[in-house]
Structure 1
Protein backbone atom coordinates (compact mmCIF):
# COMPACT_ATOMS: atom_id res chain seq x y z
CA UNK A 1 0.00 0.00 0.00
CA UNK A 2 2.78 2.47 0.89
CA UNK A 3 4.46 2.14 -2.50
CA UNK A 4 1.12 2.61 -4.28
CA UNK A 5 0.45 5.74 -2.23
CA UNK A 6 3.74 7.35 -3.24
CA UNK A 7 3.28 6.39 -6.89
CA UNK A 8 -0.26 7.70 -7.15
CA UNK A 9 0.24 11.01 -5.39
CA UNK A 10 -2.26 13.39 -3.84
CA UNK A 11 -3.88 14.98 -6.90
CA UNK A 12 -7.25 13.39 -7.61
CA UNK A 13 -10.85 14.27 -8.38
CA UNK A 14 -14.04 12.42 -7.52
CA UNK A 15 -17.09 13.10 -9.65
CA UNK A 16 -20.15 11.31 -10.93
CA UNK A 17 -19.07 8.00 -12.47
CA UNK A 18 -22.34 6.13 -12.35
CA UNK A 19 -25.64 7.35 -13.75
CA UNK A 20 -27.36 8.55 -10.58
CA UNK A 21 -26.50 8.35 -6.90
CA UNK A 22 -30.18 8.13 -6.01
CA UNK A 23 -33.18 6.47 -7.64
CA UNK A 24 -35.02 8.46 -10.29
CA UNK A 25 -38.26 8.25 -8.32
CA UNK A 26 -36.82 10.85 -5.94
CA UNK A 27 -37.01 13.48 -8.69
CA UNK A 28 -40.18 12.15 -10.36
CA UNK A 29 -42.63 13.33 -7.63
CA UNK A 30 -41.21 16.86 -7.86
CA UNK A 31 -41.69 16.89 -11.64
CA UNK A 32 -45.20 15.40 -11.32
CA UNK A 33 -46.32 17.88 -8.63
CA UNK A 34 -44.81 20.78 -10.56
CA UNK A 35 -46.62 19.69 -13.73
CA UNK A 36 -49.95 19.44 -11.92
CA UNK A 37 -49.52 22.88 -10.37
CA UNK A 38 -48.67 24.46 -13.73
CA UNK A 39 -51.65 22.72 -15.36
CA UNK A 40 -54.03 23.85 -12.63
CA UNK A 41 -52.69 27.42 -12.65
CA UNK A 42 -53.02 27.76 -16.43
CA UNK A 43 -56.26 25.81 -16.98
CA UNK A 44 -58.32 27.08 -14.04
CA UNK A 45 -60.23 30.23 -15.07
CA UNK A 46 -61.12 31.09 -11.48
CA UNK A 47 -58.70 33.15 -9.47
CA UNK A 48 -58.53 32.37 -5.78
CA UNK A 49 -56.23 33.00 -2.86
CA UNK A 50 -55.03 29.39 -3.16
CA UNK A 51 -52.96 30.44 -6.18
CA UNK A 52 -50.47 32.11 -3.86
CA UNK A 53 -49.88 28.85 -2.02
CA UNK A 54 -49.70 26.90 -5.28
CA UNK A 55 -47.19 29.38 -6.71
CA UNK A 56 -45.06 29.12 -3.56
CA UNK A 57 -45.14 25.31 -3.68
CA UNK A 58 -44.34 25.33 -7.39
CA UNK A 59 -41.36 27.61 -6.70
CA UNK A 60 -40.02 25.21 -4.06
CA UNK A 61 -40.42 22.23 -6.40
CA UNK A 62 -38.65 24.00 -9.27
CA UNK A 63 -35.78 25.09 -7.01
CA UNK A 64 -35.31 21.48 -5.85
CA UNK A 65 -35.22 20.22 -9.43
CA UNK A 66 -32.72 22.89 -10.52
CA UNK A 67 -30.47 22.22 -7.50
CA UNK A 68 -30.51 18.47 -8.19
CA UNK A 69 -29.52 19.05 -11.84
CA UNK A 70 -26.79 21.53 -10.86
CA UNK A 71 -25.40 19.08 -8.31
CA UNK A 72 -25.20 16.38 -10.97
CA UNK A 73 -23.31 18.75 -13.25
CA UNK A 74 -21.04 20.62 -10.80
CA UNK A 75 -20.62 18.19 -7.89
CA UNK A 76 -16.98 17.24 -7.29
CA UNK A 77 -14.53 16.38 -4.56
CA UNK A 78 -11.12 17.75 -5.51
CA UNK A 79 -8.00 16.71 -3.60
CA UNK A 80 -4.66 18.48 -3.98
CA UNK A 81 -1.47 19.37 -2.18
CA UNK A 82 -3.13 22.43 -0.62
CA UNK A 83 -6.15 20.62 0.80
CA UNK A 84 -9.55 19.23 -0.10
CA UNK A 85 -12.43 20.99 -1.87
CA UNK A 86 -16.11 20.04 -1.95
CA UNK A 87 -18.04 21.59 -4.84
CA UNK A 88 -21.81 21.31 -4.62
CA UNK A 89 -24.71 22.73 -6.64
CA UNK A 90 -24.09 26.36 -5.64
CA UNK A 91 -21.49 26.32 -2.89
CA UNK A 92 -17.80 25.46 -2.87
CA UNK A 93 -16.05 24.73 0.44
CA UNK A 94 -12.32 24.22 0.96
CA UNK A 95 -10.19 23.05 3.85
CA UNK A 96 -6.41 23.10 3.92
CA UNK A 97 -4.70 19.96 5.22
CA UNK A 98 -3.72 21.89 8.34
CA UNK A 99 -7.46 22.44 9.05
CA UNK A 100 -8.56 18.85 8.37
CA UNK A 101 -8.91 16.86 11.58
CA UNK A 102 -10.19 13.64 10.04
CA UNK A 103 -11.73 12.09 6.92
CA UNK A 104 -14.45 9.61 7.83
CA UNK A 105 -16.83 7.24 6.11
CA UNK A 106 -20.25 7.25 7.75
CA UNK A 107 -23.42 5.33 7.09
CA UNK A 108 -25.64 7.41 4.84
CA UNK A 109 -28.73 8.55 6.80
CA UNK A 110 -30.60 8.65 3.46
CA UNK A 111 -29.47 5.14 2.59
CA UNK A 112 -33.05 3.95 2.16
CA UNK A 113 -33.59 6.57 -0.54
CA UNK A 114 -30.18 6.60 -2.22
CA UNK A 115 -27.96 3.96 -3.73
CA UNK A 116 -24.98 4.96 -1.57
CA UNK A 117 -24.77 3.14 1.75
CA UNK A 118 -21.62 5.01 2.83
CA UNK A 119 -20.72 8.66 2.39
CA UNK A 120 -17.60 10.60 3.37
CA UNK A 121 -17.03 13.73 5.46
CA UNK A 122 -13.96 15.85 6.15
CA UNK A 123 -14.03 17.12 9.74
CA UNK A 124 -12.28 20.24 10.97
CA UNK A 125 -10.78 20.83 14.41
CA UNK A 126 -13.82 23.01 15.17
CA UNK A 127 -16.07 19.94 14.85
CA UNK A 128 -17.68 21.12 11.62
CA UNK A 129 -18.02 18.58 8.86
CA UNK A 130 -17.91 18.97 5.09
CA UNK A 131 -19.59 16.35 2.94
CA UNK A 132 -17.43 15.16 0.05
CA UNK A 133 -19.63 14.92 -3.06
CA UNK A 134 -19.57 11.63 -4.97
CA UNK A 135 -17.05 10.10 -2.58
CA UNK A 136 -19.28 7.15 -1.69
CA UNK A 137 -19.61 3.43 -2.26
CA UNK A 138 -22.04 3.93 -5.16
CA UNK A 139 -19.59 5.93 -7.26
CA UNK A 140 -16.43 4.11 -6.13
CA UNK A 141 -16.49 0.31 -6.45
CA UNK A 142 -13.54 -0.09 -4.04
CA UNK A 143 -14.69 2.68 -1.74
CA UNK A 144 -13.04 1.65 1.55
CA UNK A 145 -9.67 0.96 -0.13
CA UNK A 146 -9.88 4.37 -1.85
CA UNK A 147 -10.61 6.06 1.46
CA UNK A 148 -7.70 4.29 3.16
CA UNK A 149 -5.41 5.34 0.29
CA UNK A 150 -6.55 8.97 0.51
CA UNK A 151 -6.01 9.05 4.27
CA UNK A 152 -2.53 7.57 3.88
CA UNK A 153 -1.36 9.97 1.19
CA UNK A 154 -2.96 13.05 2.79
CA UNK A 155 -1.22 12.27 6.10
CA UNK A 156 2.07 12.97 4.28
CA UNK A 157 0.83 16.47 3.36
CA UNK A 158 -0.60 17.13 6.83
CA UNK A 159 2.77 16.35 8.34
CA UNK A 160 1.14 14.35 11.16
CA UNK A 161 -0.59 11.00 11.43
CA UNK A 162 -4.34 10.78 11.97
CA UNK A 163 -5.02 10.69 15.69
CA UNK A 164 -8.14 11.24 17.77
CA UNK A 165 -8.28 14.19 20.15
CA UNK A 166 -10.94 14.03 22.91
CA UNK A 167 -11.76 17.76 22.80
CA UNK A 168 -12.42 17.64 19.03
CA UNK A 169 -14.49 14.47 19.39
CA UNK A 170 -16.63 16.32 21.96
CA UNK A 171 -17.17 19.17 19.47
CA UNK A 172 -18.13 16.68 16.75
CA UNK A 173 -20.68 14.98 19.03
CA UNK A 174 -22.09 18.35 20.13
CA UNK A 175 -22.54 19.50 16.54
CA UNK A 176 -24.18 16.16 15.65
CA UNK A 177 -26.71 16.70 18.47
CA UNK A 178 -27.34 20.25 17.24
CA UNK A 179 -27.95 18.99 13.68
CA UNK A 180 -30.40 16.38 14.93
CA UNK A 181 -32.28 18.94 17.03
CA UNK A 182 -32.33 21.42 14.15
CA UNK A 183 -33.64 18.73 11.79
CA UNK A 184 -36.49 17.87 14.18
CA UNK A 185 -37.38 21.54 14.57
CA UNK A 186 -37.35 21.96 10.78
CA UNK A 187 -39.66 18.96 10.26
CA UNK A 188 -42.04 20.29 12.91
CA UNK A 189 -42.06 23.70 11.20
CA UNK A 190 -42.86 22.12 7.82
CA UNK A 191 -45.78 20.17 9.29
CA UNK A 192 -47.03 23.32 11.03
CA UNK A 193 -46.93 25.25 7.73
CA UNK A 194 -48.76 22.47 5.89
CA UNK A 195 -51.41 22.37 8.59
CA UNK A 196 -51.77 26.16 8.36
CA UNK A 197 -52.22 25.98 4.57
CA UNK A 198 -54.88 23.25 4.92
CA UNK A 199 -56.91 24.94 7.64
CA UNK A 200 -56.54 28.54 6.44
CA UNK A 201 -57.15 27.86 2.74
Structure 2
Protein backbone atom coordinates (compact mmCIF):
# COMPACT_ATOMS: atom_id res chain seq x y z
CA UNK A 1 0.00 0.00 0.00
CA UNK A 2 1.24 3.45 -0.84
CA UNK A 3 2.16 5.65 2.08
CA UNK A 4 1.30 9.32 2.30
CA UNK A 5 3.57 11.49 0.18
CA UNK A 6 4.21 14.85 1.81
CA UNK A 7 4.39 16.97 -1.35
CA UNK A 8 1.03 15.83 -2.69
CA UNK A 9 -1.66 16.69 -3.60
CA UNK A 10 -0.76 19.59 -5.90
CA UNK A 11 -3.26 21.50 -7.99
CA UNK A 12 -2.79 23.99 -10.82
CA UNK A 13 -5.52 26.33 -12.08
CA UNK A 14 -5.82 29.61 -13.93
CA UNK A 15 -4.93 32.47 -11.60
CA UNK A 16 -7.40 35.23 -10.77
CA UNK A 17 -5.76 37.99 -12.82
CA UNK A 18 -5.81 35.87 -15.97
CA UNK A 19 -9.41 34.84 -15.28
CA UNK A 20 -10.37 38.52 -15.35
CA UNK A 21 -8.37 39.11 -18.53
CA UNK A 22 -10.01 36.11 -20.18
CA UNK A 23 -13.46 37.38 -19.18
CA UNK A 24 -12.72 40.83 -20.62
CA UNK A 25 -11.58 39.27 -23.91
CA UNK A 26 -14.76 37.17 -24.17
CA UNK A 27 -17.07 40.09 -23.32
CA UNK A 28 -15.26 42.42 -25.74
CA UNK A 29 -15.43 39.84 -28.50
CA UNK A 30 -19.13 39.22 -27.89
CA UNK A 31 -19.89 42.96 -27.99
CA UNK A 32 -17.93 43.27 -31.25
CA UNK A 33 -19.86 40.39 -32.80
CA UNK A 34 -23.17 41.90 -31.69
CA UNK A 35 -22.24 45.31 -33.11
CA UNK A 36 -21.20 43.78 -36.43
CA UNK A 37 -24.51 41.91 -36.70
CA UNK A 38 -26.65 44.93 -35.84
CA UNK A 39 -24.69 47.16 -38.24
CA UNK A 40 -24.94 44.68 -41.11
CA UNK A 41 -27.55 45.40 -43.74
CA UNK A 42 -30.07 42.77 -44.74
CA UNK A 43 -29.88 40.58 -41.63
CA UNK A 44 -33.25 39.82 -40.09
CA UNK A 45 -33.88 39.67 -36.36
CA UNK A 46 -34.94 36.04 -36.87
CA UNK A 47 -31.27 35.30 -37.56
CA UNK A 48 -29.52 37.95 -35.44
CA UNK A 49 -31.04 37.23 -32.03
CA UNK A 50 -30.80 33.41 -32.14
CA UNK A 51 -27.22 33.72 -33.35
CA UNK A 52 -26.30 36.08 -30.52
CA UNK A 53 -27.95 33.81 -27.96
CA UNK A 54 -26.03 30.81 -29.34
CA UNK A 55 -22.79 32.82 -29.41
CA UNK A 56 -23.23 34.02 -25.83
CA UNK A 57 -24.01 30.47 -24.70
CA UNK A 58 -20.90 29.15 -26.47
CA UNK A 59 -18.66 31.84 -24.97
CA UNK A 60 -20.15 31.26 -21.53
CA UNK A 61 -19.53 27.55 -21.85
CA UNK A 62 -15.95 28.19 -22.97
CA UNK A 63 -15.33 30.52 -20.02
CA UNK A 64 -16.82 28.07 -17.53
CA UNK A 65 -14.94 25.02 -18.80
CA UNK A 66 -11.67 26.95 -18.94
CA UNK A 67 -12.11 28.07 -15.34
CA UNK A 68 -12.77 24.48 -14.31
CA UNK A 69 -9.76 23.16 -16.25
CA UNK A 70 -6.94 22.04 -13.99
CA UNK A 71 -4.04 19.71 -13.35
CA UNK A 72 -4.09 17.79 -10.07
CA UNK A 73 -1.47 15.36 -8.82
CA UNK A 74 -2.34 12.98 -5.99
CA UNK A 75 -1.07 9.65 -4.69
CA UNK A 76 -2.68 7.66 -7.49
CA UNK A 77 -2.32 9.67 -10.69
CA UNK A 78 -2.16 12.99 -12.47
CA UNK A 79 -5.69 14.20 -13.16
CA UNK A 80 -6.00 16.46 -16.20
CA UNK A 81 -9.26 18.28 -16.70
CA UNK A 82 -9.23 20.08 -20.03
CA UNK A 83 -11.80 22.09 -21.94
CA UNK A 84 -13.00 19.09 -23.96
CA UNK A 85 -11.89 15.98 -22.08
CA UNK A 86 -10.53 14.50 -18.88
CA UNK A 87 -7.56 12.18 -18.55
CA UNK A 88 -6.05 10.30 -15.63
CA UNK A 89 -2.65 8.70 -16.27
CA UNK A 90 -1.48 6.64 -13.30
CA UNK A 91 2.07 7.27 -12.11
CA UNK A 92 3.23 3.86 -13.35
CA UNK A 93 1.91 4.64 -16.85
CA UNK A 94 3.93 7.84 -17.18
CA UNK A 95 7.20 7.65 -19.11
CA UNK A 96 8.39 11.16 -18.39
CA UNK A 97 7.48 14.68 -17.27
CA UNK A 98 9.19 17.47 -19.19
CA UNK A 99 9.18 21.25 -19.43
CA UNK A 100 9.39 22.36 -23.07
CA UNK A 101 9.58 25.64 -24.94
CA UNK A 102 6.34 26.88 -26.47
CA UNK A 103 6.99 27.81 -30.13
CA UNK A 104 3.89 30.04 -30.30
CA UNK A 105 5.28 32.31 -27.57
CA UNK A 106 7.50 34.04 -30.14
CA UNK A 107 4.40 35.17 -32.07
CA UNK A 108 2.06 35.84 -29.14
CA UNK A 109 3.14 37.89 -26.14
CA UNK A 110 0.41 36.53 -23.86
CA UNK A 111 1.31 32.88 -24.47
CA UNK A 112 3.44 31.03 -21.90
CA UNK A 113 7.05 30.54 -22.93
CA UNK A 114 7.36 27.18 -21.16
CA UNK A 115 4.79 24.37 -21.02
CA UNK A 116 4.89 21.07 -19.15
CA UNK A 117 3.93 17.71 -20.63
CA UNK A 118 3.56 14.18 -19.30
CA UNK A 119 4.43 11.33 -21.67
CA UNK A 120 2.42 8.10 -21.65
CA UNK A 121 3.19 4.49 -22.53
CA UNK A 122 2.35 5.16 -26.18
CA UNK A 123 4.97 7.91 -26.34
CA UNK A 124 2.39 10.65 -26.83
CA UNK A 125 2.61 13.77 -24.75
CA UNK A 126 -0.22 15.25 -22.71
CA UNK A 127 -0.32 18.94 -21.83
CA UNK A 128 -0.67 19.67 -18.12
CA UNK A 129 -2.93 22.77 -18.03
CA UNK A 130 -1.70 25.82 -16.11
CA UNK A 131 1.60 24.18 -15.30
CA UNK A 132 3.54 26.89 -17.14
CA UNK A 133 5.76 29.88 -16.46
CA UNK A 134 2.79 32.28 -16.27
CA UNK A 135 1.24 30.45 -13.32
CA UNK A 136 4.03 28.70 -11.39
CA UNK A 137 7.75 28.37 -10.93
CA UNK A 138 8.18 25.67 -13.56
CA UNK A 139 11.51 24.35 -12.32
CA UNK A 140 10.22 23.89 -8.77
CA UNK A 141 6.93 22.28 -9.78
CA UNK A 142 8.43 19.95 -12.37
CA UNK A 143 11.01 18.92 -9.80
CA UNK A 144 8.27 18.13 -7.29
CA UNK A 145 6.24 16.13 -9.83
CA UNK A 146 9.25 14.18 -11.07
CA UNK A 147 10.19 13.37 -7.48
CA UNK A 148 6.64 12.18 -6.82
CA UNK A 149 6.63 10.14 -10.02
CA UNK A 150 9.89 8.42 -9.11
CA UNK A 151 8.50 7.63 -5.67
CA UNK A 152 5.02 6.47 -6.68
CA UNK A 153 5.50 4.67 -9.99
CA UNK A 154 6.49 1.47 -8.18
CA UNK A 155 9.68 -0.47 -7.58
CA UNK A 156 9.08 -2.68 -10.63
CA UNK A 157 8.65 0.25 -13.03
CA UNK A 158 10.95 0.22 -16.05
CA UNK A 159 11.20 2.63 -18.98
CA UNK A 160 9.67 1.46 -22.24
CA UNK A 161 12.19 1.37 -25.08
CA UNK A 162 9.35 1.57 -27.60
CA UNK A 163 7.88 4.63 -25.88
CA UNK A 164 11.32 6.28 -25.79
CA UNK A 165 11.68 5.84 -29.56
CA UNK A 166 8.23 7.30 -30.16
CA UNK A 167 8.91 10.24 -27.85
CA UNK A 168 12.13 11.04 -29.70
CA UNK A 169 10.42 10.76 -33.09
CA UNK A 170 7.51 12.96 -32.04
CA UNK A 171 10.01 15.53 -30.75
CA UNK A 172 11.96 15.32 -34.02
CA UNK A 173 8.78 15.93 -36.04
CA UNK A 174 7.81 18.95 -33.95
CA UNK A 175 11.31 20.36 -34.22
CA UNK A 176 11.34 19.76 -37.97
CA UNK A 177 8.01 21.56 -38.44
CA UNK A 178 9.26 24.51 -36.41
CA UNK A 179 12.48 24.62 -38.41
CA UNK A 180 10.55 24.46 -41.69
CA UNK A 181 8.25 27.31 -40.73
CA UNK A 182 11.16 29.38 -39.42
CA UNK A 183 12.94 28.99 -42.76
CA UNK A 184 9.89 29.48 -45.00
CA UNK A 185 8.79 32.81 -43.54
CA UNK A 186 12.07 34.73 -44.09
CA UNK A 187 12.43 33.04 -47.49
CA UNK A 188 9.83 35.44 -48.91
CA UNK A 189 12.46 38.21 -49.10
CA UNK A 190 15.00 36.43 -51.36
CA UNK A 191 12.15 34.81 -53.30
CA UNK A 192 10.69 38.25 -54.01
CA UNK A 193 14.09 39.35 -55.32
CA UNK A 194 14.19 36.31 -57.61
CA UNK A 195 10.66 37.03 -58.76
CA UNK A 196 11.59 40.60 -59.74
CA UNK A 197 14.91 39.65 -61.32
CA UNK A 198 13.49 38.99 -64.83
CA UNK A 199 12.16 42.57 -64.88
CA UNK A 200 15.70 43.96 -64.80
CA UNK A 201 17.81 41.21 -66.33
CA UNK A 202 17.29 39.37 -69.59
CA UNK A 203 17.05 35.71 -68.66
CA UNK A 204 16.76 33.47 -71.71
CA UNK A 205 15.71 29.84 -71.72
CA UNK A 206 14.43 27.88 -68.76
CA UNK A 207 15.55 30.35 -66.02
CA UNK A 208 13.22 32.97 -67.44
CA UNK A 209 10.28 30.56 -67.52
CA UNK A 210 10.98 29.20 -64.04
CA UNK A 211 11.30 32.61 -62.38
CA UNK A 212 7.72 33.60 -63.11
CA UNK A 213 5.97 35.43 -60.23
CA UNK A 214 3.32 32.78 -59.64
CA UNK A 215 5.86 29.97 -59.84
CA UNK A 216 8.32 31.62 -57.44
CA UNK A 217 5.78 32.69 -54.81
CA UNK A 218 3.59 29.60 -55.21
CA UNK A 219 6.30 26.94 -55.15
CA UNK A 220 9.17 28.68 -53.36
CA UNK A 221 7.97 28.78 -49.72
CA UNK A 222 6.55 25.22 -49.75
CA UNK A 223 9.81 23.97 -51.27
CA UNK A 224 11.91 25.76 -48.65
CA UNK A 225 9.65 24.43 -45.89
CA UNK A 226 9.77 20.85 -47.17
CA UNK A 227 13.53 20.71 -47.72
CA UNK A 228 14.27 22.32 -44.34
CA UNK A 229 11.80 20.13 -42.44
CA UNK A 230 13.07 16.89 -44.00
CA UNK A 231 16.71 17.83 -43.43
CA UNK A 232 16.00 18.85 -39.84
CA UNK A 233 14.04 15.67 -39.11
CA UNK A 234 16.75 13.39 -40.48
CA UNK A 235 19.42 15.25 -38.53
CA UNK A 236 17.46 15.05 -35.28
CA UNK A 237 16.76 11.33 -35.70
CA UNK A 238 20.39 10.62 -36.60
CA UNK A 239 21.69 12.55 -33.58
CA UNK A 240 19.23 10.83 -31.26
Normalising TM by the smaller chain, what interval?
0.5 to 0.7
The equivalent of 2:9 in structure 1 is 11
Cα 1:68–1:160, aligned 2, differ >3 Å: closer, same or farther? farther
Distance 1:144 1:123, change over 3 A: same
2:104 paired residue among 76, 100, 110: 110
Q: TM-score, normalised by structure 2?
A: 0.54
Residues 171-197 of structure 1: per-residue CA shift (max 9 Å, x gap): 12444538987xx9xxxxxxxxxxxxx
Contact 1:88 1:133 in 2 (8 A): yes
| Aligned residue number for residue 83 of structure 1 | 77
Higher relative contact order (CA 8 A, sep 6+): 1
Name 1:192's counterpart in structure 2.
Answer: none
**Residue 9 and residue 180 in structure 1: after superposition, are their counterparts in 2 closer, same or farther (change >3 A)?**
same
Number of equivalent positions: 168
Q: Which runs of 5+ in 2 are unaligned?
A: 181-240
**Equivalent in 117, 135, 141 of residue 139 of structure 1:** 135
Q: Does 1:125 align with 2:121?
A: yes
Length-normalised TM-score, structure 1: 0.63
Superimposed CA distance per residue, residues 49-108 of structure 1 (whole angstroms, 9 cap, x where no aligned partner): xx89xx6xx978974x44651344101111111110111123211101121111111112
Alpha-carbon separation, structure 2, partners of 1:36 and 1:84: 39
Distance 1:137 1:40, change over 3 A: closer
Larger helix fraction of residues: 2
The offset of 1:13, in angstroms, is 1.3
Whether contact under 8 Å (1:102, 1:162) holds in the other structure is no
What is the RMSD computed on CA atoms of the aligned residues? 4.0
Question: In 2, are the aligned partners of 1:155 and 1:162 still within 8 Å (CA)?
Answer: no
Partner of 1:39: 35
Q: Are 2:151 and 1:153 aligned?
A: no
In 2: Cα distance, 1:147 partner to 1:45 partner: 54
More strand, by proportion: 1
Larger CA Rg, structure 1 vs 2: 2
